[in-house]
């Protein structure tokens, strides 16, 4: 029998967050843009007919007005869903008016998402379905690119690698270029980068490098639901973070496969564009209306929907306290 697609409800929350934060695009204030998204997302999630608990958030690392870990949301009954949230992935992109900012949510059955503890950063390797058996985070960059190219029946020179443009990636960038692959350098947004690596037609074949651990767990839900491949290893960026992870019992050499990052098939993922990106258009405004574009992915069926919605702003403002 058909069952409820929770992802469509989650999409209402990412739409609300995108609409609220898009008013701050290009104004140079990422904190206020993030705050608007958090408040809008929390309002919608609190009204939904389900029970959920936030287990992966961004607030502690970004010092944001977070949807805090352990916060319970929803008005329904039954078992809890674990939520991984990022009301604005790419707060700097939003503040500067750059492409690629999105609002994202992932839900999985209770206890099935990887808990990184005090780990804020992780090395990641993400590819699409055709190359999911070709990756090995313990192998060299050149060997990975060679095996990925072989799986895709292409040459290494035809591959494009998504890498965050950070000082920590100087050596990685050199190794990718020495191997012969092309690079797309982006300042922020590695959930979007992971999605670009898995979705067809984006021009990205693989994501490499170290980014946020919360973003890694969120991305893992989508990657598994789409049949892609992903591996992750904790990669602390400070001595304090390293000490906290070791003290908490984490093995810093362990490579986590996708099945340990997300241990369930019955998952839901939603993302809405805030600014234009490679697979989602950003929020667009008319005189009294706005348009959003979203992705909704259901893990149980691997169904992917792209939803374009038109929102009548005066109607929304009449029934909601969100500053649309």
Residue 323 lies in a domain: no
The pLDDT mean for the chain works out to 93
153 assigned to a ligand binding site: no
219 and 143, same domain (yes or no): yes
Centroid of chain to Cα 315: 30
Say how far apart CA 271 and CA 273 lie, in whole Å.
Answer: 7
121 assigned to a ligand binding site: yes
Domain endpoint, select from 261, 291, 308: 261
Please give the average per-residue pLDDT across 101-124, as a whole number. Answer: 96
Residue 199 lies in a domain: yes
Residue 116 lies in a domain: no
274 and 235, same domain (yes or no): no
Say how far apart CA 95 and CA 23 lie, in whole Å.
Answer: 10
149 φ, ψ (degrees, to nearest 5): -60, -40
Six token digits for residue 249: 């019992």
Please give the average per-residue pLDDT across 269-275, as a whole number. Answer: 98
Q: Is the Cβ–Cβ distance between 213 and 119 less than 8 Å?
A: yes
34 assigned to a ligand binding site: yes
Q: How many domains does the chain have?
A: 2
189 assigned to a ligand binding site: yes
87 and 157, same domain (yes or no): no
20 and 106, same domain (yes or no): yes
257 and 125, same domain (yes or no): yes
Q: Is the Cβ–Cβ distance between 23 and 35 less than 8 Å?
A: no
> What angle separates helix 6-22 from helix 30-47, to the nearest 10 degrees?
150
Specify the 3-state DSSP secondary structure of 131: helix
62 φ, ψ (degrees, to nearest 5): -90, -5
CA angle at residue 11 from 300 to 36, to 5 degrees?
140
Q: What pTM was computed for the model? A: 0.93
167 assigned to a ligand binding site: yes
Q: Please say if the pLDDT value at position 242 is more than 50.
A: yes
* Long-range Cβ pairs for the range 238-243 (8 Å, 24+): 241/118, 241/119, 241/120, 241/121
Residues in the chain: 324
188 assigned to a ligand binding site: yes
Say how far apart CA 176 and CA 304 lie, in whole Å.
Answer: 31
151 and 237, same domain (yes or no): yes
Neighbours of 76 (CB within 10 A): 10
pLDDT tens digits along 25-57? 999 999 999 999 999 999 999 999 999 999 997
Q: Please say if the pLDDT value at position 90 is more than 70.
A: yes
236 and 283, same domain (yes or no): no
Say how far apart CA 316 and CA 106 lie, in whole Å.
Answer: 24
> CATH number of the domain that 30 lies in?
3.30.540.10
314 assigned to a ligand binding site: no
324 assigned to a ligand binding site: no
76 assigned to a ligand binding site: no
132 and 189, same domain (yes or no): yes
166 assigned to a ligand binding site: yes
Say how far apart CA 39 and CA 51 lie, in whole Å.
Answer: 18
* Residue 70 or 100, more confident: 100
229 assigned to a ligand binding site: no
89 assigned to a ligand binding site: yes
Residue 324 lies in a domain: no
Q: Which domain holds residue 91?
A: 6-110+266-318
68 assigned to a ligand binding site: no
252 and 276, same domain (yes or no): no
């Amino acid at each position: 029998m058909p069952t409820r697609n929770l992802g469509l409800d989650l999409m209402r929350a990412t739409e609300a967050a995108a609409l609220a934060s898009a008013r701050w695009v290009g104004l140079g204030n990422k904190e206020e843009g993030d705050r608007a998204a958090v408040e809008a997302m929390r309002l919608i999630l609190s009204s939904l007919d389900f029970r959920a608990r936030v287990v992966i958030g961004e607030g502690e690392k970004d010092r944001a007005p977070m949807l805090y870990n352990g916060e319970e949301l929803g008005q329904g009954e039954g078992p809890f869903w674990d939520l991984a949230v990022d009301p604005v992935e790419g707060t700097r992109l939003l503040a500067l008016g750059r492409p690629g900012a999105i609002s994202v949510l992932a839900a999985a059955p209770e206890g099935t998402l990887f808990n990184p503890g005090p780990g804020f950063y992780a090395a990641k390797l993400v590819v699409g379905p055709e190359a999911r058996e070709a990756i090995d985070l313990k192998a060299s960059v050149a060997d990975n690119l060679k095996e990925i190219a072989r799986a895709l029946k292409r040459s290494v020179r035809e591959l494009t690698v998504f890498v965050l443009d950070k000082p920590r990636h100087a050596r990685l960038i050199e190794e990718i270029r020495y191997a012969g692959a092309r690079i797309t350098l982006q300042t922020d947004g590695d959930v979007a980068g992971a999605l670009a690596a898995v979705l067809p037609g984006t021009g990205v074949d693989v994501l490499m490098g170290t980014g946020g651990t919360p973003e890694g767990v969120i991305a893992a839900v989508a990657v598994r639901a789409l049949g892609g491949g992903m591996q992750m290893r904790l990669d602390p960026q400070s001595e304090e973070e390293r000490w906290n992870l070791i003290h908490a019992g984490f093995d810093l050499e362990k490579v986590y496969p996708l099945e340990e990052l997300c241990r369930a098939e019955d998952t839901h993922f939603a993302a809405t564009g805030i600014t234009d990106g490679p697979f989602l258009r950003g929020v667009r405004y008319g005189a009294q209306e706005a348009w959003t574009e979203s992705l909704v992915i259901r893990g149980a069926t691997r169904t992917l929907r792209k939803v374009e919605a038109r929102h009548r702003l005066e109607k929304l403002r009449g029934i909601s306290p969100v500053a649309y």
